[in-house]
Amino acid sequence: MKKLYVIKIGGNIIDNEVKLAAFIRDFAAVEGLKILVHGGGKLATKLAADLGIEQQMIDGRRITDAATLKIVTMVYAGAINKNVVAQLQANGCNAIGLTGADGNAIKAHKRNHPTIDYGFVGDVDEVNTGLLKSLLEQNIAIVLAPITHDGNGLLLNTNADTIAQETAKALSSIYDVELIYSFEKSGVLMNADDDASVIPSINPTTYSELKEKQVIFAGMIPKLDNAFAAINSGVSKVIIGKAEQLQQLITGEAGTTINP
């Protein structure tokens, strides 16, 4: 089975031109088949503020009303996605940028929550593995924006960590998939304020204990839930760690490894 890297880059790196350029150089140097999933960064929030469109967040998740959907589509699928693709081309890495609507890459449905109306937020139903495989086999790196579609003409704002997990899971029947969540921290930390306190590996038992002790909380919980969902569905390895250490994350010398 061929190796495939699905690498998610966090929004905080996208907000920093220097760090993003360095990460893109490192990603371009990764050998073999690869998919990059990117978050949105602060650009959508800034543009919404400039346009006077109020943003609502619940538990760190953006409520996507009709006006916000237009903004995130412009920013994620347009400005950020095409900037990343152009920088990859400049680094000798042939890449194509896709939303879920392009080539019917990722279908989703509008989230139906019993108490919260998230607006135009999508939960993934299906990943078009045939399309992604055909591009990967042409040695084209795929850059996925966190926008999906419902098959009826509606675009949906979808969590980038979830897109990375669902894509990795879907392709694990075809490839030996490693999923890497790279962001500004060195991994899952024992002390959120100490970047040197990396927990080298986590399994379901230690995860429960760390949550109970509130060592792990807030935004790290959905990231780890996604990581465990992937590892339990055929993904061979999941690593969480610092974007600047991409090469070491791939070799297992840095970050936090998620074990089944």
What is the distance between the alpha carbons of residues 175 and 132, in angstroms, rounded to a whole number? 12
**Mean predicted confidence (pLDDT) in 105-122:** 95
pLDDT digits (tens, 9 = 90+) for 12-48: 899 999 999 999 999 999 999 999 999 987 899 999 9
What is the structure's pLDDT at 56?
A: 86
Which pLDDT tens digit goes with each residue over 121-164? 999 999 999 999 999 999 999 999 999 999 999 999 999 999 99
Question: How many whole angstroms separate alpha carbon 120 and alpha carbon 158?
Answer: 9
With a pLDDT cut of 70, the percent of the chain lying above it is 100
pLDDT of residue 166: 97
The predicted pLDDT at position 60 comes to: 66
Which tokens belong to 24? 């893109």
Q: What pLDDT score was predicted for residue 217? A: 76
Among residues 84, 96, 97, the alpha carbon closest in space to that of 26 is found at 84
Asked if residue 219 has pLDDT above 90, the reply is: no
pLDDT at 58 over 90: no
Q: What is the dihedral of CA 180, 183, 187, 189, to 10 degrees?
A: -150
Domains and CATH numbers, the chain: 3-258 (3.40.1160.10)
For the whole model, what pTM was predicted?
0.95
Q: What integer best gives the mean pLDDT of the chain? A: 94
Residue 222: predicted pLDDT: 84
170: phi then psi, degrees, rounded to nearest 5: -60, -40
Question: Where does the pLDDT of residue 221 fall: very low under 50, low under 70, confident under 90, or very high at 90 and above?
Answer: confident
pLDDT confidence of residue 169: 97
Where do we find the tokens 């299906």? 126
Q: Per-residue pLDDT tens for 157-213?
A: 999 999 999 999 999 999 999 999 999 999 999 988 899 999 999 999 999 999 888
Would you say residue 98 has pLDDT above 90? yes
Q: How would you class 57 by CB atoms within 10 Å of its CB: exposed for 0-12, middle for 13-18, buried for 19 or more?
A: exposed
